[in-house]
Amino acid sequence: MLLRAVDHPSSSQSRDRFKSHRIADGRYAEGVLTLSTELQLELIAHCIRSLPEEGCGLLIGEYETGLVARVAPAENVAHSAMIYTVDPKAFLAADREASKDGLDVIGVFHSHTHTEAFPSPTDVAQAPDPGWHYVLVSLRDTHPVLRSYRIANGTITEEPVRPG
């Protein structure tokens, strides 16, 4: 049942709703996040372990293609059920590790413990990079729900999540 919930965003029915997403200057890849089922479960597990606080972490992979190679769970130094702040030291470590392999930090994930998997006004206002992927995990219901978005210039665009 958990896997079915994880796979929700890439079901054929929902995929039809997505259109390729490209920023005007063409610098960004099409709006698809490639995130293996194993990595989806890893980041969801981190979010569950972080309850009752929001869980968070970074996505390491290929900036141009949206392929996630690994996830880097991080401490939520806000220690809150309502907001998150990725431990800056964890970001530094993830960035260094990524650069060794020619990769980058290409996005962030965090959980919403009591609301849906959709970016909040806070998420939009504080989104650090229009080229990043913003993965939301909702733990509101019995089954976790994972979805991914691009956030550029205050505009939210959902993107499909492909297991690979």
Interface ranges with another protein (CB under 8 A): 25, 27, 54, 56, 58, 63, 78, 80-86, 88-89, 91-92, 95-96, 99, 104-106, 108, 110, 112-115, 119-120, 122-123, 126-132
Q: Which is nearer to another protein, 128 or 164 (CB)?
A: 128
d(CA 77, CA 51): 14
Shortest gap between Cβ of 101 and another protein (angstroms)? 13
Residues 140 and 112: their CA atoms lie apart, in Å, by: 7
Are 66 and 106 in contact, with CB atoms under 8 Å apart? Answer: yes
| Identity of the residue, 7 or 95, whose beta carbon is nearer to another protein in the bound complex | 95
End-to-end CA distance of the chain: 20
Q: Smallest gap, in angstroms, from Cβ of residue 112 to another protein?
A: 4
- Cβ proximity to another protein, 16 vs 25, nearer residue: 25
**Closest distance between another protein and the C-beta of residue 32, in Å?**
17
Distance (Å, rounded) from C-alpha 147 to C-alpha 128? 18
Of 15 and 114, nearer to another protein (C-beta) is: 114
**Rounded to 5 degrees, what are φ and ψ at 136?**
-115, 135
Min separation Cβ 148 and another protein, Å: 14
Q: Two tokens at 164?
A: 């690979």
Q: Other C-beta atoms within 10 Å of 92: how many? A: 10
Q: Is the Cβ of residue 46 or residue 110 nearer to another protein in the bound state?
A: 110
